[in-house]
Amino acid sequence: MTDNITTKDAEEPVESMEEWMQRHLTRDLLWTLPVPSRAFLKEMGWNNGCYQVVVSTGYKKKKLAKGYRLSDMLLLNKNENIRISYYYDSGFEFILLLDRVAVNKLDSIVKHWKSMPPQENSVFYDLFFSYGRVVSDPKDIGISYNQARKLMDRQFFSQKGEHILGTAEMELLEEMQTHEELDVEKADEYCDLLFSSVQAINHSKLTEILDDIYSYLSYCKTTEEQVKLFLLDLFMLIREKLHAAYSGDKIFEESTRYYLNVIYSKNYLYEIIETFRDSLEVVMYIIGGPSRDNVLNDILNYVAHNYDRSLKLETLAPLFGYNSAYLGKIFRKGVGVPFTRYVDMVRIERAKELLMRGNDKVYKISETVGYHSVDYFHRKFQKYVGMSPAEYRRNYLETGREE
């Protein structure tokens, strides 16, 4: 008897009658329909007293091909005898773990990904999944399913690089039920704050306000749709205010439909906030004047607040009104080193601070400062510091003990 079942679609073989029966039984259990008798569950081999539900989809809503889904990862080692039942529907994979072996397998995947998130070139980087709690009674499978679904609904609010939502996030979600609902009038309040920071050409204040907006929206009792409408309203408010103050400048000339499409094309809240930041940075450049000193200071400030992102002159140049070659010459003349080297220096200095002040693992620090390959981070750190990150931390700790 096989427990590895799926819905029938164009890319998978036709189901057998047994597979069809198990798929529908899985759906009944997940949707909390009347639970079959224990005798029937025993006959199906589903009476092991350990169940858990997982919902999986594509990271950034990417469509996952057969062979690259979570069920494929769980079943990768045939010798483990993993017992699961699953089906695929509308871009989501619903998986029911049927015994302790399968539950432990998922737990090992979660622990591995939490300690070492998948790199962009990883086969399973495009996976995003949520899971409910483990239950022992078949009638409680619906509870695990509902938790997994609620967490999947929060995918829009997940942090950059986050691929898993589970029991820890469920506790936070339950706590959030006591938080306030989204206050649409706060759009006016945030508009005034953003306008002031742009007028003052205060990059750090702009970042602080946008971070506060992200935090506020993440912890409100709200939905993705409500948040996108709120942010569209906020963007229109700040645009109107800037147009009124700087009517002679070409600021936000695109139509409202353009910005609506931009906001609704994003899969995550943090992506919209980053778009806000980039747009308002351009406005700062326009109203701040295009002198070389201003441009250089703006670039240095931008790097100081965005060193964890992918930074290239080719993508930054349009923000500051120069072509990348000319901007590179301005930067090298003003700073004394090429742009890429300066970014490395900022990242390595930040990494040194993190190594000295905490116990974060090296791979985590690598990701925090903008290097998504820990091996590449090691090479850069060795180049600029003359030793590995681990050696640097060890030397710092030993020096501290001696003092």
User: Which pLDDT value is given to residue 292?
Assistant: 55
- Of 242-251, 365-374, 381-390, the one with minimum mean pLDDT is 242-251
Flag whether 7 is in a domain: no
Q: How many CA atoms lie within 13 A of 399 on its CB side?
A: 7
The verdict on 79 and 215 lying in the same domain is no
Residue 319: which of 337, 339, 295 has the closest Cα?
295
The C-alpha torsion from 40 through 46 and 48 to 49, rounded to 10°, is -80
Average pLDDT over residues 166-181: 76
Q: Residue 302: which pLDDT band, with cuts at 50, 70 and 90?
A: confident
* CATH number of 391's domain: 1.10.10.60
| Average of per-residue pLDDT across 372-378 | 90
* 324 and 200 in a common domain: no
With CA atoms as reference, report the closest residue to 335 among 298, 379, 362. 298
Residue 244 forms part of a structural domain: yes
Q: Quick one: 284 exposed, middle or buried, by C-beta within 10 A (0-12, 13-18, 19+)?
A: buried
What is residue 115's predicted lDDT score, i.e. its pLDDT?
A: 80
Same structural domain, 82 and 116 = yes
Evaluated on CA atoms 161, 165, 167, 168, the torsion sign reads positive
Given the structure tokens 């993705």, which residue do they identify?
224
State mean pLDDT over 342-357: 92
Rounded to whole angstroms, the Cα distance separating 181 from 173 reads 14
Mean pLDDT over residues 119-133, rounded? Answer: 84
Average per-residue pLDDT for the chain: 83
The answer on pLDDT for 35 being more than 70 is no
Angle between helices 269-288 and 292-306 (to 10 degrees): 160
- Check whether residue 133 and residue 187 sit in a common domain: no
pTM over cut 0.75: no
Asked whether the predicted pLDDT for residue 178 surpasses 70, the reply is no
Banded model confidence at residue 53, pLDDT cuts 50, 70, 90? very high
Task: Specify the range with the lowest mean pLDDT, choosing from 4-18, 25-39, 104-118, 298-312.
Answer: 4-18
Share of the chain above pLDDT 70, in %: 87
Provide the domain count of the chain: 3
Predicted confidence band of residue 200 (pLDDT cuts 50, 70, 90): confident
User: Is the domain of 51 the same as that of 146?
Assistant: yes
Average pLDDT of 38-60? 82
Give the per-residue pLDDT at 249: 63
The per-residue pLDDT for 210 is 95
Cα torsion 66, 68, 71, 74: sign: positive
Confidence of residue 291 (pLDDT cuts 50, 70, 90): low
Q: Please answer whether residues 51 and 144 qualify as being in contact, where contact means their C-beta atoms are separated by less than 8 angstroms.
A: yes
24 and 158 assigned to the same domain = yes
**Residue 377 pLDDT grade (very low, low, confident, very high; cuts 50, 70, 90):** very high
pLDDT of residue 3: 43
pLDDT of 26 reads: 75
d(C-alpha 74, C-alpha 3), whole Å: 13
Helix or strand or coil: residue 68? Answer: coil
**pLDDT at 217 (0 to 100):** 93
Q: Which helix (H) or strand (E) holds 27?
A: helix 17-30
Name the residue type at position 210.
L
Q: What is the pLDDT, as a whole number, of residue 345?
A: 95
**Tokens representing residue 218 in the block:** 């993440």
Of 1-15, 123-137, 323-337, 340-354, the poorest mean pLDDT is in 1-15
| Together in a domain, 329 and 372 | yes
> Which of 288, 322, 344 finishes a domain?
288
Q: Identify whether residues 321 and 352 lie together within a single domain.
A: yes
pLDDT of 13 higher than 60:
no
pLDDT tens, residue by residue, 219-276 = 888 899 999 999 999 999 999 988 888 876 667 777 788 888 989 999 999 999 998 8
Angle at which helix 186-199 crosses helix 269-288, to 10 degrees, equals 40
User: Is the same domain home to 258 and 279?
Assistant: yes
**Residue 101: which CATH number?**
3.30.70
DSSP 345: H
- 177/179: higher pLDDT: 179
Predicted pLDDT at 299: 83
When mean pLDDT is compared over 169-178, 219-228, 312-321, 392-401, the highest value belongs to 219-228
Q: Are residues 80 and 64 in the same domain?
A: yes
Task: Return the pLDDT at 372.
Answer: 86
Which of these ranges, 135-144, 244-253, 306-315, has the smallest mean pLDDT? 244-253
- Please report which confidence band the pLDDT of residue 138 belongs to, taking 50, 70 and 90 as the band edges: confident
β 164-165/127-131 pair status: parallel
Mean pLDDT score, 184-193: 94
Q: Is residue 1 very low, low, confident or very high in pLDDT (cuts 50, 70, 90)?
A: very low
Q: Are 7 and 88 in contact (CB under 8 A)?
A: yes
* Number of helical H runs and strand E runs in the chain: 18, 5
**Are residues 157 and 47 part of one domain?**
yes
153, 29: one domain = yes
d(CA 225, CA 233) in angstroms, rounded, equals 12
Quick one: pLDDT at residue 22?
A: 67
Is 380 among the domain residues?
yes
Who wins on pLDDT, 184 or 403? 184
Domain containing 221 equals: 179-288
Q: What is the pLDDT of residue 6?
A: 40
More confident of the two residues 242 and 12: 242
First and final C-alpha spacing in the chain: 67
